[in-house]
């Protein structure tokens, strides 16, 4: 069976107020699972950056790093919203600062579930979630919101 190839297509962008600049976006279409794997690798990359910058965070192997990225995605998708809902009054009283603690608790939960992922306390977990969030945000900004590689090309028409 042949694997599906990536397709490219130019999509127009709306014109500006003068109608002179016509930027276009090149979207590289990949199969749906490739977008999932790209996001998983971005999450693993952000956890790796956090493990290098935050003292008190360590991984035993690359496999543990990939599994931790997957488990963290699962925890953030299903368990974190429940924590946010249950602690909503406290989050509102602290003007959202308590969300940092919730993110740190999610990191601690993942480290408790995986034997090769070590976090030593809540403060390193909060710092790791901050660093991981910024690294993931930067890496995700390089791809589109759908997990596809997007290149924006702006051209001036005469």
Every domain of the chain and the residues it spans: 7-153
- pLDDT tens for 141-156 read 777 666 666 666 666 6
Enumerate helices (H) and strands (E) in the chain, giving the number of each: 6, 5
Tell the residue number behind the tokens 């390193």, with chain if given. 124
Give the global pTM. Answer: 0.73
pLDDT tens for 83-135 read 999 999 999 999 999 999 999 999 999 999 999 999 999 999 999 999 999 99
Please report, to the nearest 10 degrees, the dihedral formed by the alpha carbons of residues 32, 34, 39, 40 taken in order: 120
């Amino acid at each position: 069976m042949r694997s599906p190839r990536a397709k490219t297509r130019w999509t127009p962008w709306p014109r500006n107020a003068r109608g002179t600049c016509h930027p276009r976006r090149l979207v590289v279409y990949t199969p749906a699972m490739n977008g999932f794997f790209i996001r998983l690798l971005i999450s693993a990359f952000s956890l790796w950056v956090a493990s290098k910058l935050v003292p008190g965070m360590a991984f035993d192997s690359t496999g543990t790093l990939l599994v931790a990225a997957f488990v963290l995605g699962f925890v953030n998708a299903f368990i974190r919203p429940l924590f946010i809902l249950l602690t909503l009054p406290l989050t509102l009283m602290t003007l959202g600062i308590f969300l940092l603690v919730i993110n740190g608790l999610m990191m601690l939960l993942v480290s408790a579930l995986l034997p090769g992922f070590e976090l030593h306390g809540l403060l390193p977990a909060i710092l790791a979630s901050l660093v991981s969030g910024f690294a993931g945000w930067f890496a995700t900004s390089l791809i589109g919101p759908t997990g596809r590689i997007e290149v924006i090309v702006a051209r001036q028409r005469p």
